[in-house]
Structure formats: structure tokens, C-alpha cells
Structure 1
Amino acid sequence: MADYKAPLRDIRFVLNEVFEADKLWQSLPGLNGAIDAETAEAMLEEAGKITSQTIAPLNRSGDEEGAQWNDGVVTTPAGFKQAYTTYAEGGWVGLGGNPEFGGLGMPKTLGVQVEEMVYGANNSFALYPALTAGCCLALDAHGSEELKHAYLPNLYGGSWAGTMCLTEPHCGTDLGIIRTKAVPQANGTYAVTGTKIFITGGEHDLTENIIHLVLAKLPDAPAGPKGISLFLVPKILVKEDGSLGERNTVSCGSIEHKMGIKASATCVMNFDGAEGYLIGEVNKGLNAMFTMMNYERLSIGIQGIGCGEASYQTAVAYARERIQSRSPTGAIAPEQAADPIIVHPDVRRMLLTMKAMTEGSRAFSTYVGSQLDISKFADDPQIKKKGEDLVALLTPVAKAFFTDIGLESCVHGQQVLGGHGYVREWGQEQLVRDARIGQIYEGTNGIQALDLMGRKTVANGGAFFKVFAEEVREFIAANQDQALADFVQPLKKALSNLEELTALVIDRSKTNPNEIGAASVEYLHVFGYTVYGYMWARMAKAALAKLDQDSDGFYAAKLGTGRFFIKRLLPRIHSLSEAVRSGSEPLFELDAAQF
């Protein structure tokens, strides 16, 4: 099994050469000069060390040992607590947090690189700080000053952890039918009662306190999603002086026995009149929760990138060493009994698919991160609005496409190893199991596709889409030189195809609402491949500019990988587009009884 190594060279290329992050950061007044290229480089180096040397070695043992539940107490696998303490002491939990309360205030363009490294090293471990970061986002955006001062410093510092408690046994996507109640108390607090399931990090031994953000309804709340409020419910109550007091009436009833991410405690949480504090306004809980959703959904998408990268590292190391048969063109290694399997066309197809899609994903995650930074830190209203529109449009694409492609990459990586990919020793079967959850939680990928097609495209007549399309068209118009033609011309055709599909579904949905759901998944994938075409065109432009100083073949490899994407993967849009054009009728020919 290849040891995970943080892909710092590729990260630097995307961050510094493709997106020129330092220029972006200096142009955003809201960052207040918190970061520059030198600081970012030092942080990336340190993140690479802690993920490769401290967190990655716990991946397999954590999977085999798993999180353990005993009478309400959850114990994480050996080494997790020490590694988490080291991670927290480095300030990584509060990397993007508000500096006013102890966060480091780093931009998301840097944050996505660190998240990828942590997910690539150890998916289960990564989820604990990821959920804490999400909890902090909602609290910082909507909590009272009193709550922020009382809770954020310890959350950012990593001595406390955070959760999001949304799902209940009878409802997941349809949160409007939740049953958890919050009853107002005379002292201004609320008594929260109900059961939440699938709560990542709901109970564990990594921190001294756990802060739950819980969706609940007041007794007189309106029906449906407009009656949901958000509450902060600590595991251990916090005294006025900031010290810990009594245990709150919150308990972990059990943990799930899962296909993957076994070292991540997925808990059933019971709230029995637990003391809670309102975050934001009454009946505006979903608004507060959605503040963090763009960040959290991007984070879960990045889980797919991390898994794909880790699988690729093992697969390519194996393919260079494993010998089987001779190359179709004759012996490549005549001194050996057979040639390394990397000479075979089908193995190269799988490896290049993994490489092209992972590198495209990394560029896209950086792009979405840059739009999050623009929407948060820009002071020009028009620039800020464009960033917000692109974030709204692209977040469901990122979450769903990253995780769909991440699983595909892990399956390819397993296949490269053959039988060795199916056994535990090489780690590929664990990555397949771990990657699978990314398509399910934080809103299933089918729900992400409905969000993209319905709310983000049809509902506004394609307004968000036009913002994206215009940016790509401007790039195409500005890059007509022959050197980039192999990338720009296919991108131009792909964009035109996507524009036609968008207009078609918007038009059809006016008379048949089934068209939205029927088109949504394939449409999201056409969108994803088209975005990656844009990313590869931008990466090709950056690589071409450095070819004259390409001492180790890095930039030539970028161009070769990009051409593989354009010629072998981008054409997938054609079959997907035909499925969209076929409409909803094929889905509704059968009655329910005929299934």
C-alpha cells in the first residue's frame, strides 16, 4: 500500500499559477491582508506534513477498530485523540474562522487545499473538524454576541467540537416535518426534546465538550419548513465564567454500523428537555443552517477528491511495479519476465481517467473556493453579487460531481490492482467504502441535481447559469491563439450544448413539471464535464506559459492529461445530453404496480 503524500506540487500549480490566488487575496478588502503567498506556502507545507505523517497512518487501523459505543460513551480508535489534539493545536480547526473569536481568518481558496489533504489522508478523521467548522459558520453568522463569545473560541481552538443535528428517523430531505420540539423557558432558554439520527461526531472522546446545533420547532410554530428554528445545545452546560458545569440532558443512544468511514461516530442523539439557546430568529432556522451549507457541501464534495487522489497514488505506484504480460508493441522491460502493467492501454485508460478527473476536481474546488471568498470579502457590490450567484449555482454541481467522480476513481483504482484491490492490505477496498457515503449525506446527489435544475436554474429562468456562461464565453473569446485550440474549441461546443439543454428544460418545465426531475441528474453531469472542460482550458493555458522551463516534465504532463480529458472524457456529455433530450415520458410509461 502506497503511503499517502499530500499532492503539494499540484496544489501549488492550481492555487498559484492557474488562479493566481495571491492577487485575488490582495484584491479583497475584507481579508484585511491576513494572508500572502509566503504565508500560504508555509501553511500548505505544514498541512502536508501533519496529514501525511500524523493523520494518514491512522487510516487503516481506524477503519479496522472503528468507533466504539458502550452505554452512551463513544471511544474513537487508538491514536485519534492524540492526532486530533496535535491538529487542533496547530490551529487547523479554526483555519477559516473569525479572527475576532480566535479563528485564523484564512480564505476558502486555501481552506479547500487543506481539506483535500485531510480527506485524502483519513476520511473518518476529517469529518470531526469539518463538522465543527460548519457549526462555527452558522454560529458566527447568526448567533448573538453573547453566544459567539461563549462558544466560538473553544470551538476554533479545538477543545470543543460541534455538530449539526438535522435528520430524524422519519425525515431527512423533508425537514419541514421534523418533530423535535423546543419549549420556551422562563429564563430565556429552551427545553429541547426529540431524537436526531445520522449525527456525525454526536458523541466522542476527542474533546471536553460537544456543541450541537439542533433544528426544532416551537409549540406554536407554523407547519412546514417555515416553522423551523435553530438552537445551540451543549453536551455540558457552560457557566457564566466559561468553565464547564453539569451534564446537559443530551445522550447518545447508539452509533451506526456502517459500510465505511467506520472511525467516524455516526450517532443517534436523544434530547430530553435539554437546555438550548436560540440562534438567530424564531422560525428562521433553515436560513441560519443554509449559511453553512455552501461551505459544508463543498467540503463533502472534497471528500471525493481526497479519496480519488489517495486511490490514484496507490494505483499508479502498483502499476509501475506489477509485471504482467508484454506490451502490445513489444517488450518494454526485456530484462524482466514481463512488463509493468502501466504499459497496457486499459490500465493507462483507468489511471488517466483518475488523474484527469482528480486534477479537474482540484481546479474546480479552488474555483468555487475563490467565489466563496469573493462573495464574502469583496466590497464591490457587483463583484460580490456575481460571486454569490456562482456559488449558488455551482455548489450542488461540486458536491455531487466530486463525489460521483470520486467513487468512479476509487473503483478504477481498485480495478488496477485486480484481486489485490479487493483485499484490505492495499487500502483500495476501504477507499471504495469510504467514498460511497459522499454521494448520500449532506443532501443526496439526486437532491443536489434537483437543486441545480429546479431552484438554481428553472426557478430563475437561467439567470445564474447566464452568469457562468458569460464568464466562459469571455475566456473563449480572449484565448483564440492556436496553441490553446485543442482545449478552447471543444469547450466552446460543450458550452453551446449546455446552453441548449438549459433552455430546453426551462421551456419544457412550463407545461410539465416532471421534466425538472427527469433531466436533473444527467444535466448535472453534463454541467460537471463542461465545467471541467473550462478548468482544463485554464490549466492548459497556465502550463503552456511554463513549457520553456519544464525541467521535469510537469507541465507537459499537465497538457497530456488535459488532452486525454478533452478527447476521452468530455465526449461523455453527448450520451448524457441525449438522455436529457428524451424527456420525462420514458420514466412514466410504467404504473407503480409494473415495477
Structure 2
Amino acid sequence: MTYRAPVSDIAFALKHAAGVDKAIAEGLYGDLDEATIDSVLEEAGKFASDVIAPLNRLGDTFGTPFKDGTVTTPPGWKEAYTSWAAAGWNGLASPADFGGQDLPHAVNAACIEMWNAASMAFGIGPVLTMAAIDALHAYGNDDLKDRYLGKLISGEWMGTMQLTEPQAGSDVGALRTKAERVGDGTYRLTGSKIFITYGEHDLTDNIIHFVLARLPDAPAGTKGISLFLVPKVMPDGTRNDVRAHSVEHKMGIHASPTCTMVYGDNGGAVGWLIGEENKGMLCMFTMMNRARLAVGLQGVAIAERALQQAFSYARERKQGAGGVIFNYPDVKRMLLTMRGLTGAARAICYATAVALDRSLRSKDDAARKAAHERASLLTPVAKAFATDIGIEVASLGVQVHGGMGFIEETGAAQHYRDARIAAIYEGTNGIQAIDLVTRKLPLEGGKTVALYLDELRATVNAVRESNSPALGETAARLGEAIDSLERATKWLLAQKSSASALAGATPYLRLFGNAAGGCLLAEQALAALRAGDGAGRTALARFFAENIAVQANGLERTVTEGADSVTNAEAALAD
């Protein structure tokens, strides 16, 4: 089975969970209306379903052959990319001044989900180009913007993000790539980078690399890192001193070339500074935060793809006297879990995108600041929760298929293999949890998270006041989940030992995702009830509340009572 974009579910989540309907009513998006958004999503769904999705299996088996420094993408890949870029999808949320359409990031987020559900290996390339556009637009000088921004936005050229080195993975401050001032406004870069997504390919004539490097007189650590724009092809048409040395053989996303890059075989690659010297991490975080949301959307995407295939198989596979396996309660439980987790993660990611829109488009400083803090709070949750559930849902998809899920020909195994990387790149999920607990909970002295908890409680109250029998114990179970989340939040904010907080960071992020996701599903259920068509959404919200949100108390206790069993477990970890 191939993929069909769930456009109606996506549109409903955007409007009634993420709050696009309210944003439109407030005038945040100018004269943009729901009908236009629906039209954009419909066209994106067609392209994802009809053009990209059929290439997914071929991409997995063909891979990215590498010879004489060049990468060959799978058959049909270049044609699909060229058509995709020509349709304007790459510049959907990019600034209109340079050829973009300036549509909301929330709409682009929905499209990113569809591109990656159709083929995660295809979708990750444009994600990095979009992140490069954001960094160049925010920090590049006018000359660099004039030369490169339009072609990145149009998709004529693609971009990369280059941080990682063999000795410097998550510890970016340990990088060794060097940059030397030339005196004419350019720099010469020497060194190497690993795990560079789409570092070399044949989709575009030029690739614009955004590379972190250290100047000779730079301070140690992350305070001494600068960001440089390094084109594969120079403005005069000559090749720059940068090349792909090899392509990795990976567990999944086989059609995405993951390269080792070498700079400076012949004196140094020419680069231009982005932003200020030694302020590269500030620029890079602009790229990384947008990319982290996009990777969260990859988790949603692969979960949706696995969910669709599992539903189709369960309705066709006959087993014993019960008929098709779809009728068995345990299979129903797995399918409901898959659908509930996918919907919850989708809503969290879309809500993050709307917060991002508000941080950029709101008319007064206070509103922009509050929205920025909300987006900052939700980004690590969106990235980590959504990619964790992507793995879990893909694994359940294999389980629904039984033995056939373990066989490559069904495609269920590919979803599981592809999903696994998303919890690792753009900052591992452990790092996201640490970021949430140590940097995001203390925002505004804890007021940012407190305001969010108040909003979740308002949803619970609305569910309770609806008096809908179809929602069962949804209000009670979600209320208990938020109580657990609030207690765990206060406990973490009060910790004087960083070790205690770090030990509970990962279960806390899951607790946060479960509580927030359950409430966002409930918001959609309430909207559906008001529209007179709430059966499916109320049933899903109830299932999530009564079967997944109820894990909250155990997660809370893990956070608040389990730290000592982690930090003082040397005996259990001894060889």
C-alpha cells in the first residue's frame, strides 16, 4: 500500500488544535482564509501522494551510489524534486521579497508532514534548505542575500547544515574545522564534517553549505564558533575547494545521501561569514530550532505512513474464526494507540508552528515575546515526543503485520528503519529533554509553563462542561494527567541538584507530551461535537485519555522519586 495524504485530518488539526482558526479571526495572517489553506493542503496532498510516495520503495532499495565524488539519486528522484520546486513548495513560508509566498509556518508544517510521509528520505533535504533560508535571511548581509537567497527559496539550489565532526557530535564546542581570514572579506575553511545530509547530490547544480568553523583567535568552546556560507560552485562558475569524501551506509532513509565532507584539499574552501565572528551558534540555532520542529514532523509523518499501512493490512488479513484481524481487540488496541499517538504528536507540532507564527507576526512586542517563549517551550516537546512516537507507531505497524511485517516486501520494516534516525539527529531526544527541563521550564521564572498548564486545564474544564457521554472519563483522566504534570514541573523547578533534574528529564518530556497531546485531541473532539460530527474524534480522544494519559502518575513518580535510583546505580552498571 502507498500513502494517501490525510488532508482533512491535517486541516482539522491545524484549525481546531493548533489554533489557526483563531489566528485567522484575529487577522494574524492578513487576508488569508481557511478556503485558501484548504486549497494549498489539497494540492500538497496530491503531489505527496501521487508523485513522491510511489518513489519511496525504489529509493530505499536503490540508495545513493557514490563514485568519483558524485552521488546518483534514485531514478525519478531528480524529476520529482524539479517538479516540486517548480510548483513553489520550497518557498511556501519564505519571505516574499526574495520570491517566497510568505504563507504561515503552520501551513508549511502541514506540508512538511506530507512530503516526509510520502518519503522521509526525500523530505529531509528541503527541510535543511528551508533552515538555511531562515539563517541567511536573519543574519546574512545584503550581498549574500541578493546572491543566494532567491535561488535557495526557489529550490534551484539546495542548502546543508554542517556541525558534526568525528570528535564533536553533540559537543559542538569541540569542533576543529578552521577558518582563516583572507583580508578581502572572505575566509578559507579547512577540515572535515560527518553525517551531512544531502552534502552531495545531483538534484541541483549548486549546493550552499552552512558550515561551523573556528577562527585562529577564537575563544574556546561554543563561544568561539562562527558560521560560514560555503558554496559548492563559486559565483564565477568554478568549483570551490569542498568535496564529498564518502556516503554512509545506513539503517534507514537510504535515498538520503549522508556524506563525509572535506574542506581544503587545495588551500581552503572559500566562505563568507554569516552574522558576526564567534557568534555562529546564535545563527545556527535559528536553523536548528526550525529543523527540530521539522524533524518532529518527520516523526508524525512516518507514524501516519505506518498507521495507514497497518489499517489496510488489518482489514484484509484473515486469521482464524474471527475473520479479518481488524476485529480482534488486541489489534484494535494497537491501531487505536497508533492513531492516538499520531494525532497527539501532529497537534503538538502544529501548535508549535502557530506559536512560531505568532512570534513573528503579532503586532505588539509583548505578544511576540510571549509567543516566542511558547514556541521555545514546545519545540523540544514537538521534536522528541513526535519522533519517539514515530518509532513506537512504526514498531506497532510491524506487529500488526505479524511475520509479514518482518519481511521487507511489505514495506512495514522500512518505516521502522526510517523512523529510527529522527530521535537522533538535530539534537538527540535526551538533549531535547535536558533543554526542556533546564532551559525552557525556567523561562520567565516558570510563568511560561504555568500559563500553558492553565490553558490545558481550560480544555479539561470545557470537556467536563460539554457533558458528552461519548467522552466518558476523558475530563477526569486528563485532569489527573495535568495534576501530575504540574507537580512534576514544580518539583523540577525546585531542584538544586542538576543530576536529579537530568535523571527525570526524559520521563518528564513524555509526561508533558501525553498531557498536552491528550488535551489537543480533546479540543478537536469538542470542535467536532459542535459541528455535529464528533463520533470518531470523541472516541479517539476518550481512548487516549483512558489508555495513554493514565500513564501520567507513573511518569510523575519516575521524575520525582526515581532520580536516586539512576544517579546512584553504579553497582548495577558495573562490568
TM-score normalized by the length of structure 1:
0.93
Paired position in structure 2 for 1:184: 181
The SS at the match of 1:182 is strand
Cα pair 2:197 2:257 within 8 Å, conserved? yes
CA contact (8 A) 2:500 2:563 kept: yes
1:497 paired with 2:497, answer no
Deviations 1:383-420 (A, max 9, x none): 21221111111110110000111110001111111111
Alignment partner, residue 528 of structure 2: 543
Tell me how far 1:3 sits from its aligned partner: 1.8
Please state if 1:560 is matched with 2:555. Answer: no
Does residue 428 of structure 1 match 2:412?
yes
SS of 2:203's partner is coil
Alpha-carbon distance in structure 1 between the residues aligned to 2:487 and 2:176: 43
Q: Is the 8 A contact 1:458 1:505 kept in 2?
A: no
Equivalent in 285, 292, 296 of residue 297 of structure 1: 292
1:265 is the counterpart of 2:262: no
- Paired residue secondary structure (2:354): helix
CA contact (8 A) 2:213 2:226 kept: yes
- Given the alignment, which residue of 486, 499, 505 partners 1:520? 505
Cα displacement string for residues 446-480 of structure 1 (whole angstroms, at most 9, x for unaligned residues): 11111111111257643331131132234445554
- What are the superposed Cα offsets for residues 355-399 of structure 1, whole Å, 9 maximum, x if unpaired? 111111222221111101101111122221221111111110110
TM-score normalised per structure 2: 0.96
1:109 Cα offset (Å): 1.2
Query: What's the offset of the Cα at 1:16?
Result: 3.3
Give the Cα separation in 2 of the matches to 1:458 and 1:102.
39
Preserved CA contact (<8 Å) 2:461 2:475:
no
CA change 1:392–1:527 in 2 (3 A) is same
Q: Cα 1:459–1:539, aligned 2, differ >3 Å: closer, same or farther?
A: closer
**Native 8 Å contact 2:508 2:559 kept in 1:** yes
5+ residue gaps, structure 2, are: none
The answer to whether the Cα contact below 8 Å between 2:198 and 2:256 also exists between their aligned partners in 1 is yes
Query: Structure 2 matches for 1:370-449, cutoff 5 A?
Result: 370-449=354-433
Q: Secondary structure at the match of 1:355?
A: helix
Does structure 2 retain, via aligned residues, the 8 Å contact 1:93–1:157?
A: yes
Equivalence for 1:466: 450
Counterpart of 2:211 in 1: which secondary structure?
A: strand
Residues 450, 65 of structure 1: alpha-carbon distance in 2 compared, 3 angstrom cutoff: same
Q: Distance in 1 between matches of 2:382 and 2:18?
A: 17
Q: CA 1:352/1:479 → structure 2, altered by over 3 Å: closer, same or farther?
A: closer
Q: Does the aligned pair in 1 maintain the 2:463–2:475 contact within 8 Å?
A: yes
Identity rate, percent? 45
Unaligned stretches of 5+ residues in structure 1: 240-244, 328-338
Query: Contact conserved, 1:390 with 1:467, CA < 8 A, in 2?
Result: no
* Structure 2 equivalent of residue 251 of structure 1: 243
Q: Distance in 2 between matches of 1:593 and 1:558?
A: 45
Deviations 1:325-356 (A, max 9, x none): 234xxxxxxxxxxx111110110010000011
DSSP 3-state at the match of 1:246: coil
Residues 85-140 of structure 1: per-residue CA shift (max 9 Å, x gap)? 01000111111111101111110111111011111100000011111111111111
Query: Does 2:48 match 1:56?
Result: no
Deviation track 1:6-51 (CA, whole Å, cap 9, x = no partner) reads 001211222234455254146355x454x32222122111111111
Tell me the residue number matched to 1:3: 2
Task: For 2:55 and 2:499, locate their aligned partners in 1 and report how far apart those are by CA, in whole Å.
Answer: 47
The amino acid of 2:144's aligned partner reads L
Q: Matched residue pairs, number?
A: 568
Code of the residue aligned with 1:391 in structure 2: it is A
Task: State the partner residue of 1:173.
Answer: 170
- 2:207 match: secondary structure: strand
Equivalent residue runs for 1:478-497 within 5 Å? 480-481=464-465, 482-483=467-468, 486-497=473-484
**Between 42-51 and 477-486, the greater mean CA deviation after superposition:** 477-486
Q: Structure 2 counterpart of 1:472, which letter? A: L
**Aligned partner of residue 586 in structure 1, secondary structure:** helix
**Following the alignment from structure 2 to structure 1, what is the Cα–Cα distance between the partners of residues 547 and 288?**
33
Listed one character per residue, the Cα deviations across residues 164-211 of structure 1 (whole Å, up to 9, x for unaligned) are: 000011011111111111111121100011101100000000001000
Which residue number in structure 2 is paired with residue 570 of structure 1? 549
Superposition pairs for residues 110-149 of structure 1, below 5 Å? 110-149=107-146
Distance verdict in 2 for CA 1:488–1:201, change over 3 Å: same
* Aligned AA (1:536): L
Q: Does the 8 Å CA contact 1:397/1:452 hold for their aligned counterparts?
A: yes
Question: 1 CA distance for matches of 2:333 and 2:450?
Answer: 34
**Aligned with 2:238: secondary structure?**
strand
Q: Which moved more, 1:185-194 or 1:484-493?
A: 484-493
Kindly tell me: are residues 485 and 567 of structure 1, through their superposed partners in 2, closer, same or farther at Cα, counting changes over 3 Å? closer
Q: Residue 80 in 1 paired to residue 65 in 2?
A: no
- Report the more deviating stretch, 181-190 or 489-498: 489-498
Counterpart of 1:65 in structure 2 is 62
1:279 aligns to what? 274
Task: For residue 492 of structure 1, report the CA deviation from its aligned partner.
Answer: 2.2
2:574 paired residue number: 594
Q: Secondary structure at the match of 1:236?
A: coil
- Code of the aligned partner of 1:276: G
Question: 2:348 aligns to what?
Answer: 364
Q: SS of 1:449's equivalent? A: helix
Match of 1:47 among 19, 44, 49: 44
460 and 518 in structure 1: CA distance in 2 versus 1, 3 angstrom threshold:
farther
Between the aligned partners of 1:298 and 1:414, the Cα distance in structure 2 is 26
Q: 3-state SS of the aligned residue for 1:305? A: helix
1:449–1:524 CA contact under 8 A, matched in 2: yes
Letter in 1 for 2:502: G
Flag the 1:25–1:234 CA change in 2: closer, same or farther, 3 A: farther
> Secondary structure of 1:253's match?
strand
Cα separation, 1, equivalents of 2:464 and 2:368: 29
CA distance 1:342–1:593, change in 2 (3 Å): closer
Q: Is 1:386–1:467's contact at 8 Å kept on the other side of the alignment? A: no
What is the alpha-carbon distance in structure 2 between the residues aligned to residue 379 and residue 556 of structure 1?
38
